[in-house]
Amino acid sequence: MREGGHPVVVLSVRDISKRFDAVQALDRVGLDLAAGEVLALVGDNGAGKSTLIKVIAGVVDADSGSVTFNGQPARIARPHDAQALGIATVYQDLALCENLNVVANLFLGTERQRFALLRQISMERTARELLRSLNVRIPDVRVPVSMLSGGQRQSVAIARALLGEPRVVILDEPTAALGVEQTAQVLAVIRRLRQRGLAVLLISHNLVDVWAVSDRISVLRLGRNAGEFRTAGTDQDTIVAAITGAGA
Amino acid sequence: MKRTGLDYLPALAGIVVIAAVFGVLSEHFLSPENLTNLLLQMVPTGTISLGIIMVLLLGEIDLSAGSVSGLTAVVMAVLTAHHHLPVALAVAAAVAAGTVIGVLHGLIFARLGVPSFIITLAGLIGWQGLLLYLLRRGGTINLPFTGFVARLSDTWLPPWLSWALLVGSLAAWAAATVLVRRLRVGAGLPVAPAWRAALPLGVVGLVLTAGLVTLSADRGVPLLLVIFATLVVALDLALRHTVVGQHMLAIGGNVEAARRAGINVTGVRVLAFATCSTLAAIGGILAASRLAAVNQSSGGSDILLMAIAAAVIGGVSLFGGRGSAYAALLGILVIQSITNGMLLLNVDSSVRLMVTGVVLAVAVAADSLAGRSRMARTI
């Protein structure tokens, strides 16, 4: 949490620009992300949110601009670079294998092994501890993911991002298409990430969720920064005005 | 993956119903001699089916497995009969030829992006052509009855060895179960109630004991059956407990997720096709062993279709990611029981095909109904 001392800025991006042919997707965009805070990134469709997180995740290479991680200049050219720095991204499609169980999904591609054999007990124990620490309730981690609810799946995807022990977690629309109760579950997981001291960048269309969980809000409009607000003490109209550019 | 046993239910129910029906209609069907024959008959196609499962699990298909089984059997026969190679060497060369063919299919599919249906359809036609080309002198090659290959399918385990194998496998299974339970308890993980863990062991133990007693009343346990069972168990363990097995299931479930997780998708795909063709080669040699000959129809006719049908009846999904090696055993048991029973009853093969078709349709329908209710319970 932020009370008591200066927040530690983990990631800061400055003057990021990206042009796709005729479209200037990002125009000198910047943001700072501190440990133990949730920064909501909002904006209308086409405002550049997706492009910005793809730049941070190394999926898109920016034309210009700089990234500083932990106070050190960093170069993120590939997804691997972002992961190596400690930036984990959970995309909207989750990328889970529905036929595999929760443990297998958590360790997909990073299976613990001995002589090419899976160390299932060790992985299951870590999986349970991780999910318990996030307060995610899944009755049996050995059931296929296809049997889980949408909120549980989102939680599994977030938990998987944490296995690499990142410092920054980027969540792309984690509550889209979830019901009320499942949204509450996922928001609770996001608060847990903050408690762990992670820097969370939350992309969302849903201002109710943004208010429920974020500390600060950064607004993008037409590829440019359109204001940054402390969530507490700002009303939704101000944000909507910033998103739409309606004279506020 | 958590196994509920539900996936096997249609096949198990099918086997019981078929056994009951033919048992009533024909006094010979359940005789030790006929059951022994049935188990021998199912091994070659069952082995091919096992290979096809490896490809089906990825959500792909191999239509060439029948042709490859025939071609590799012919390669073996030509090498021994015309080139006078030692049998062991010829068998090894034939199996290796199968592996090479599978790697070729896999590379063309995984690297060039040719759909597996197309590349293996090309294989189905092309390898059949190569088989006919190799056989052009004569059309049939008989294998000596006293030779190694022909003797394979006429070798029977002595009773003491059969019982030792049975007791040994059950003991190993029980020991592994106990060990895993201990480790789980030690790691603070939940364990199923003891009866739940002991139940499958008890049921399988009983079935195998009854089977062994039955086979002992005839010629004993055929070596071919032991080879097939070993392959099934080995592949099941590999799928469930190795990293590459896990990756196969992951690719079958969601190839994009697997790729993003850093899994070597191309490598696993090539491996699956190579395994499929290798097992097809082994199945082809076993078929040649049963016939003591290879001819122009080796690996042809309905072998491929029955191998695919067996996998599906055994609960393997054509869309990938779901199924197990045991599907080959259960599915081929269903199909071979129908074939065998119909032959005993002197029913025309037209009826046999129609009944097999109905059983396939019913098995898949039952499976999708079961899958739907499983889904419904969780929502």
Which chain A residue's Cα is nearest to B377?
Answer: A147
Chain A 52-91, residues with CB within 8 Å of chain B CB atoms: none
What mean pLDDT comes out for the span A13-28?
A: 93
Position B299 confidence tier, pLDDT thresholds 50, 70, 90: confident
The confidence score (pLDDT) of residue B5 equals: 58
Report how far apart, in Å, the C-alpha atoms of B248 and of each of B50, B52, B243, B324, B375 are.
15, 13, 9, 12, 23
Nearest CA in chain B to A157: B257
Residue B10: predicted pLDDT: 76
B254 and chain A in contact, CB less than 8 A: yes
Average pLDDT over residues A106-126: 93
**pLDDT confidence tier of residue B136, bands split at 50, 70 and 90:** confident
Q: Are B131 and B105 in contact (CB under 8 A)?
A: no
Of the candidates B326, B282, B251, B327, the one whose C-alpha atom is nearest the C-alpha of residue B60 is B251
Residue B374 clears pLDDT 70, i.e. is over it: no
Residues of A in contact with B252 (CB under 8 A): 99
Residues A95, B254: C-beta atoms closer than 8 Å: yes
Residue type, A74: A
Tell me whether residues A111 and B262 touch, CB distance under 8 A: no
pLDDT in tens, A170-215: 999 999 888 888 899 999 999 999 999 999 999 998 899 999 999 9
Percent over 90 (pLDDT), chain B: 76
Round to the nearest angstrom and report the end-to-end CA distance of chain A: 30
Q: E-strand spans in chain A?
A: 9-20, 23-34, 38-42, 64-69, 72-74, 87-90, 113-114, 117-118, 168-172, 199-203, 216-221, 224-230
User: Which helix H or strand E contains B141, and what residues bound it?
Assistant: strand B140-142
- Neighbouring residues of B228: CB distance < 8 A, sequence distance ≥ 6: B42, B43, B46, B47, B50, B329
Contacts of B59 in chain A (CB under 8 A): none
**pLDDT for the residue numbered A4:** 46
A54-90 burial: b if 16+ Cβ within 10 Å, else e? bbbbbbbebeebebebeeeebebeebeebbebbbbbb
Residue B95 or B362, more confident:
B95
* pLDDT beyond 80 at B168: yes
Which residues of chain B make contact with A146, given a CB cutoff of 8 A? 375
User: Contact B276/B102 with Cβ under 8 angstroms?
Assistant: yes
Q: Phi-psi region for residue B293, left (φ > 0), alpha (ψ -120 to 50) or beta?
A: beta
Confidence of residue A164 (pLDDT cuts 50, 70, 90): confident
Instruction: Give residue B3's pLDDT.
Output: 46
CB pairs under 8 A between A and B: 83
Using alpha carbons, list the distances in angstroms from residue A22 to A25, A209, A225, B369. 9, 34, 20, 52
Report whether pLDDT(A123) > 50: yes
Over the stretch B40-77, which tens digit does the pLDDT of each residue have? 999 999 999 999 999 999 999 999 999 999 999 999 99
The confidence score (pLDDT) of residue A247 equals 60
Query: By CA distance, what is B264's nearest residue in A?
Result: A109
Res. A46 pLDDT band, cuts 50 70 90? confident
Percent of chain A at pLDDT > 90 equals: 69
Supply the pTM of this predicted model.
Answer: 0.89
B226-239 mean pLDDT: 97
- A164 CB within 8 Å of a chain B CB: no
Residue B308 has pLDDT above 50, yes or no: yes
pLDDT for A5 beyond 70: no
Select from B102, B43, B20, B41 the least CA-distant residue to B67: B102
Percentage of residues in chain B having pLDDT higher than 70: 95
B260 to A140: CB separation less than 8 angstroms, yes or no: no
Whether A225 shows a pLDDT value over 90: the answer reads: yes
Task: Give how far Cα B72 sits from Cα of B67, B131, B285, Å.
Answer: 9, 8, 7
Q: Which two tokens stand for residue B75?
A: 């390669």
Cβ of B249 and A146 within 8 Å?
Answer: no
CB contact under 8 A, A99 and B249: yes
Chain B touched by A128 (CB under 8 Å) = yes
pLDDT (tens digit, 9 = 90+) per residue, B2-51? Answer: 445 566 777 888 899 999 999 999 999 999 999 999 999 999 999 999 99
Q: What is the mean pLDDT of residues B204-208?
A: 95
CB–CB contact A100 B246 (8 Å): yes
Cα–Cα distance measured from residue B344 to residue B138, given in angstroms and rounded to the nearest whole number: 33
- Chain B nearest C-alpha distance from A125 (Å): 7
